[in-house]
Amino acid sequence: MTTTTTPNLELSTVASLLKRLEQLNTIGASLSKERDITRLLEQILLAAKELTHADGGTIYRMLEDGKTLRFEILRTDSLNIAMGGSASQAIHFPDLPLINAEGNNNDSLVAAYSAIHRVTVNIEDAYSAELFDFSGTRLFDQKTGYRSQSFLTVPMCSHEGEVIGVLQLINAQKPGSTEVVAFSAADQQLVESLSSQAAIALNNRQLMAQLENLFESFIGMINLAIDEKSHYTGGHCQRVPELTMMLAEAAAQTHEGPLASFALSDLDRYALKIAGLLHDCGKITTPVHVVDKASKLQTLFDRIALIDTRFEVLKRDVEIVALRKQLSLRTCQDAETENKINLDVRTQLTALDNERDFLRQVNQGGEFMQDAKIARVRDIGSKHLWRSAEGVQTSFLTADEIENLCIRKGTLTNAERDIINYHIVATIKMLEKLPWPKHMVNVPEYAGGHHERMDGKGYPKGLTREQMSVPARIMGIADIFEALTASDRPYKPGMKLSQAMRIMNQLKDEGHIDADLFDIFFKQDIYRLYAEQFLNPLQLDQVNLNTSP
């Protein structure tokens, strides 16, 4: 009997060990791919429980002060307890200090002891352990009817020897049963190996998170600089990424039609988020008086005030001429002629007031300026002469003032629009200078394509739809819709949803924006989800794209 069963037992033990080692390798590979720290911690705990057949376990994470352990994930299968991580119930247990009230090491708590001394603690039965305080454990058992018995507590240390967390397992169970046993030496070695791999993965992820936070803070600093130049643009730089991600997620969840193959990994999401935050970074090079040009005549100040002054001079000249005529009549006392002069003066003053009001009106940018209004601006500019400070008679409006007042759409001249448009060239130049990691090499293309058009008539490269990635096309829609609805622009109020969506629909028909993405934007109510979060409630009205704009 002995000679025939022993080899089988040995083979079974070896096979079990090999299987567990294989599990350990698989788990290690999985941990190295996880980007989310909370999911990573949860994977560590679940993997350790599986390897050791433990009924329960806890992951503690070291806080930045290096003196406190915090409960992160807690699981107990037999009690159906799941807290922290993906569980809906949060953990409300107090943190574990490594230093007690007397200023000494808090060695009475097993998790703290393991972290302080960087050692594994393997306890067969907590109730008979004398070195540690398990009063809290006993109280828990009394309330739940549980029996906490075997404990395996392992510190997770970085490659520099710094403790970044503690893994604690409770109640190892004999395979195939619920009988609680002590954690074996093999269990301990496997969990220590797992803990080492987990610590490396967690440390790497924390370092990556710190670098990402630093990078995003740097982006925030750039946007702050833009915001300090123009708080209108600063708000735009924050809202476009939000809308971009909303539309991207909706497109990724579409499983039929032209976008059925579009998908987003966590790395793709992060790259697109960064592209959204940086899509207008080139505006840091744009002169503020162009970015914030609220009226057609604005440079460093609104030059309509100069024109107002000229009108006052014209009115003064009219009154002076009238007074001189009246004085010349003093000898003849011709009341009828004087009345005619006064009437003529009032007529001219009224005409000048009307012309001044007209120029004030056209100075405010609009969607379209009619030819008749342009002709009237030119007529006003040329028909009046006024005497300059040097005593020279000159045209009422300068050529530059006429050019600005005759802008058909918005407040920018062609030259100023070129200056504004250059920001995308600057953005691309700036982003292409950065040494992007592999998963973010497309950031310049995503960020630099939001002013391209599907028909190839956009800028700066004149790309067509087929030459652009889906994320770049998504960002183009987000950029336009945010600009139409933004209420913090100096030159216009924020449009209502109905007006903005009619314009977007027209842009789709004209080949400006991607038709398939716009259909998702409209049919899945992405525009309204965005509006409810970021727009003034007065802008939220009913949208019917069957009506003409």
DSSP 243-265: HHHHHHHHHHT--SSTTTT----
Q: Is-contact 478 515, C-beta < 8 A?
A: no
Count of beta carbons in the 10 Å neighbourhood of residue 404:
24
Residues 81 and 115 in one domain: yes
Q: What are phi and psi of 381, to 5 degrees?
A: -65, -30
Residues 67 and 179 in one domain: yes
Say whether pLDDT at 296 is over 70: no
* Element (DSSP H or E) covering residue 315: helix 304-328
- Gap between the Cα atoms of 489 and 232, Å rounded: 6
Residues 398 and 466 in one domain: no
By mean pLDDT, which of 59-63, 327-331, 343-347 is the weakest? 327-331
- Gap between the Cα atoms of 274 and 333, Å rounded: 82
Does residue 129 fall inside a structural domain? yes
Does residue 20 fall inside a structural domain? yes
Does residue 417 fall inside a structural domain? no
**pLDDT tens-digit series, residues 513-527:** 999 999 999 999 999
Q: DSSP secondary-structure letter at 493?
A: P
Number of domain units in the chain: 3
- Gap between the Cα atoms of 120 and 118, Å rounded: 7
Residue with the bigger pLDDT between 35 and 370: it is: 370
Residues 397 and 329 in one domain: yes
> Which residues touch 67 (CB under 8 Å, ≥6 apart)?
97, 98, 99
Residues 347 and 317 in one domain: yes
Residues 499 and 356 in one domain: no
- Quick one: 334 exposed, middle or buried, by C-beta within 10 A (0-12, 13-18, 19+)? middle
Domain boundary among 354, 379, 411: 411
Residue 454, token pair as written in the block: 């599907």
pLDDT-derived band of residue 30, with 50, 70 and 90 as boundaries? low
Most confident of the following: 36-50, 106-120, 179-193, 490-504: 106-120
3-state secondary structure 325-386: HHHHCCCCCCHHHHHHHHHHHHHHHHHHHHHHHHHHHHHCCECCCCHHHHHHHHHHHHHCEE
Strand 96-97 with 121-123, pairing: unpaired
pLDDT-derived band of residue 464, with 50, 70 and 90 as boundaries? very high
Amino acid at 12: S
Residue 507, token pair as written in the block: 């842009």
Residue with the bigger pLDDT between 78 and 489: it is: 78
Residues 385 and 275 in one domain: no
The mean per-residue pLDDT over the stretch 99-126 comes to: 94
pLDDT computed for residue 233 by the predictor: 58
3-state secondary structure 70-106: EEEEEEECCCCEEECCCCCECCCCCCEECECCCCCEC
**Percentage of the chain surpassing pLDDT 90?**
41
Does residue 218 fall inside a structural domain? no
Residues 404 and 434 in one domain: no
Say whether pLDDT at 548 is over 70: no
Q: Is-contact 268 495, C-beta < 8 A?
A: no
**pLDDT tens-digit series, residues 184-238:** 998 898 888 888 877 777 777 778 888 888 888 888 888 777 777 765 555 777 8
Does residue 502 fall inside a structural domain? yes
Does residue 219 fall inside a structural domain? no
Buried b (16+ CB within 10 A) or exposed e, 292-319: bbbbbbbeeebbbeebeebbeebbeebe
Residue 228, token pair as written in the block: 């300090």
Count of beta carbons in the 10 Å neighbourhood of residue 90:
9
Does residue 76 fall inside a structural domain? yes
The mean per-residue pLDDT over the stretch 358-376 comes to: 85
pLDDT computed for residue 27 by the predictor: 60
Residue 62, token pair as written in the block: 């070291």
Residues 24 and 141 in one domain: yes
CATH number at residue 441: 1.10.3210.10
CATH number at residue 45: 3.30.450.40
- Gap between the Cα atoms of 137 and 251, Å rounded: 49
pLDDT computed for residue 414 by the predictor: 78
Residues spanned by the domain of 514: 230-284+425-539
- Gap between the Cα atoms of 114 and 292, Å rounded: 60
**pLDDT tens-digit series, residues 46-98:** 888 988 899 999 999 899 888 999 999 999 999 999 999 888 898 888 999 99
Say whether pLDDT at 149 is over 50: yes
pLDDT computed for residue 15 by the predictor: 57
pLDDT computed for residue 4 by the predictor: 38
Domain boundary among 174, 208, 242: 208
pLDDT computed for residue 337 by the predictor: 81
Say whether pLDDT at 138 is over 50: yes
Residues 241 and 201 in one domain: no
- Gap between the Cα atoms of 338 and 336, Å rounded: 5
Residues 181 and 310 in one domain: no
Does residue 120 fall inside a structural domain? yes
Domain boundary among 379, 411, 443: 411
Question: Residue 346, by phi and psi: left (phi above 0), alpha (psi -120 to 50) or beta?
Answer: alpha
Look at residue 422 and give its three-state secondary structure.
helix
Residues 95 and 181 in one domain: yes
